[in-house]
Amino acid sequence: MVKINGEELNIAGKTVAEYLATTNYDPKRIAVERNGDIVPKAQYSETVLKDGDSLEIVSFAGGG
């Protein structure tokens, strides 16, 4: 299982790019962190998700 923004998903084996393609995220408007390290956009298609990985996918929101 891979944890994405706190939710466990059965997507081990997929790349970050393959996972993102199944979602509504706009790749230009997000940043991805895997196990505490940034995944640069250029590496989305070569970063394979492993069992136990934890991903944070973030974007900007209103704030002070």
Query: Which is nearer to another protein, 1 or 23 (by Cβ)?
Result: 23
Q: Which residues bind another protein (CB under 8 A)?
A: 5-6, 23-26, 28-33, 36, 38, 40, 56-64
Minimum CB distance to another protein, residue 32 (Å) = 8
Tell me if residue 41 falls in helix, strand or coil. helix
At closest approach, how far in Å is the CB of 34 from another protein? 12
Q: Which is nearer to another protein, 12 or 58 (CB)?
A: 58
The amino acid present at 39, given as its one-letter code, is: V
Sign of CA dihedral 50, 11, 56, 54: negative
